[in-house]
Structure 1
Amino acid sequence: MDNVVEHELKNSLQTELEKVPAEVRGLIPRAQLEALTMEFYDQQWPKLEKQFLAMGDAFFQTFVQKSNELIGVLSLTEKSNNLLMWSHYARSHKGFCIGFDENDPFFDQRRSDKDEFYYLRKVKYAKDRPTKSMMKLTGTELFLVKSDDWYYEQEWRMCAVLSDAHKTIETGTFPIQLFKFPRGAVKEVILGACMENKLKDKLLNVLREKYEKVVVKQAIISSNEFKLNFVEL
């Protein structure tokens, strides 16, 4: 038996014994009670373990569902020139990339040292899932650990409460939650290598009117390497 489990069982036994009148407690030696408790645990645990695991799975599924309903995640990357990122998240190079200033106060709005929301943190990549119970997982283990298969993303995350969104667009599946960010937090905008001219003209007009100090670059696919080059406009 695990020493921690044995310790917890003895503490629980002591708590329950204190509820029993002294004259009743004296009818059986404490050591014998502990031995019977341990024996019962060893006999019943295989059955109980299956029930606890089933309860744990149900709790985890409920937690994930509620998290999707209540918590949003802003996902950013360190790598503006990663070909896979442009393919997966920018409509196969037809979209654009916003470069943020990570030192802007927008990315650190913590209300306390224990706050898990509204500040930017680096994602940790691991081979194995966190194995602690849900109640013992830290904020990092809950929100910032991903399989090392995703290491190429070099992701940073900032969690937010979805009810704080400035605008909600209803869709057929999950609603789109939009949050405002300060213009000063934007450093650059990179236009995708395959961006259509109509979208490019529209985006450039917005940048000229509202983000005149932001650096604008055009992504160009290298002709002799598997890479992107950026040219400032």
Structure 2
Amino acid sequence: MFKFYSVPCADLIENLAGSLASIKFSSAFNLNDPYELKFNLVIDPTAQEHRKQYFKNHPSDTEEDFLSWQKHAIKHDGYSWYAEQQIRNEIGQSITLCSFTEGNNSNLMWSHYTANHTGICIEYHPELFEFFRTLDGFVGIGNIIYADTPPSVMGLDKLNIIAEKIMFTKQSEWNYEKERRVILRSNNNTDFIQIERKYIKAIYIGSRTPSDIVKRILEVCQNSDIKVYYGITMGKSYEVSFSEHKEGTGYMRAFWE
């Protein structure tokens, strides 16, 4: 699996692939899609189970309080929307997540996630995902399901069932990303999970990556099992292709201005 990175400075390479290698997990509210964790709540206030759930959540309330809630939920269309936001916030504030992708030759991915081909893409060994499973707070790993409408969840569904549906569903427009997502339980805005370098298989350098960053990558990967490749835009097609680094070899990586 692969992960794309923008690299604003060469010093960051040590944190991505050096002895201090780590992977960033972020709150869903920090991601670029404002529709993250969106879903449609299906709620029937007259269902008997809602009465049980209401008094479980409000043990000091009276029957009159419950009937007032029930009447409000039936008459006000905005109630379901408000309840959705409460659930969404509760889930969003209790997890961090990290995204990977199946391939590394998507021009769109290089453009969107590496600051227009000036960053890098790292390939990880499959064993990395087994490592994630051993972490405290591990929630799940799964491929994103792409759909034209948000998932529907029942108002009486358990929170973990709701979370599983909404954390692994995104709008169909994103299907080119072929995303696999890792979820951790966390109240932090951002988590940096340190990993061993043995999980890093290769680094792919963008065709516009600055020379100081390229130099630092080669230094960090020297005397390691991490392979280095250059993104090549030259050739007879639009496809992003790669050439493995070899000492003393020059690479025509991109068009010049």
| Corresponding residue for residue 199 of structure 1 | 213
C-alpha deviations, 1:128-161, integer Å up to 9, x for none?
2112235524443121011111110000000113
The answer on 1:106 being equivalent to 2:153 is no
Q: Equivalents in 1 of 2:49, 2:116: separation in Å? A: 61
Q: Equivalents in 2 of 1:110, 1:176: separation in Å? A: 16
Considering only CA atoms, is the larger Rg found in Structure 1 or Structure 2? 1
Counterpart contact for 2:203–2:228, Cα < 8 Å:
yes
| Corresponding residue for residue 83 of structure 1 | 107
| Corresponding residue for residue 181 of structure 2 | 157
Q: CA shift at 1:110, angstroms? A: 7.4
Higher fraction of strand: 2
Q: In structure 1, list runs of 5 or more residues that go unmatched.
A: 13-40, 166-174
Within 5 Å, which residues of 2 pair with 1:5-154? 8=47, 48-51=73-76, 53-104=77-128, 105-109=130-134, 117=139, 119-133=140-154, 135-136=156-157, 137-154=161-178
| Corresponding residue for residue 214 of structure 1 | 226
SS in 1 for 2:151: coil
Counterpart contact for 2:50–2:156, Cα < 8 Å:
no
Q: Equivalents in 1 of 2:196, 2:210: separation in Å? A: 27
Change in Cα spacing, 1:48 to 1:159, as seen in structure 2 (3 Å) is closer
The answer on 1:225 being equivalent to 2:233 is no
Q: Equivalents in 1 of 2:92, 2:115: separation in Å? A: 24
Q: Equivalents in 2 of 1:49, 1:222: separation in Å? A: 62
Counterpart contact for 1:73–1:158, Cα < 8 Å:
yes
Task: Count the aligned residue pairs.
Answer: 183
Greater RCO, CA 8 A, separation 6+: 2
Amino acid at match of 1:101: H
Q: Equivalents in 1 of 2:211, 2:49: separation in Å? A: 73
Change in Cα spacing, 1:204 to 1:138, as seen in structure 2 (3 Å) is same
Q: CA shift at 1:206, angstroms? A: 1.9
Q: CA shift at 1:82, angstroms? A: 0.6
SS in 1 for 2:78: helix
Q: Equivalents in 2 of 1:132, 1:196: separation in Å? A: 47
| Corresponding residue for residue 183 of structure 1 | 197
Q: Equivalents in 1 of 2:112, 2:85: separation in Å? A: 27
Change in Cα spacing, 1:9 to 1:162, as seen in structure 2 (3 Å) is closer
C-alpha deviations, 1:165-185, integer Å up to 9, x for none?
7xxxxxxxxx54322122121
Query: TM-score under structure 1 normalisation?
Result: 0.66
Q: Equivalents in 2 of 1:134, 1:225: separation in Å? A: 51
C-alpha deviations, 1:70-90, integer Å up to 9, x for none?
311110000111110000001
Q: CA shift at 1:191, angstroms? A: 0.6
Q: Equivalents in 2 of 1:10, 1:58: separation in Å? A: 20
Q: CA shift at 1:205, angstroms? A: 1.6
Query: TM-score under structure 2 normalisation?
Result: 0.60
Q: Which moved more, 1:84-93 or 1:101-110?
A: 101-110
RMSD after superposition: 3.4
C-alpha deviations, 1:2-59, integer Å up to 9, x for none?
xxx7x955997xxxxxxxxxxxxxxxxxxxxxxxxxxxx9xxx9964243x4333223
Identity %: 21
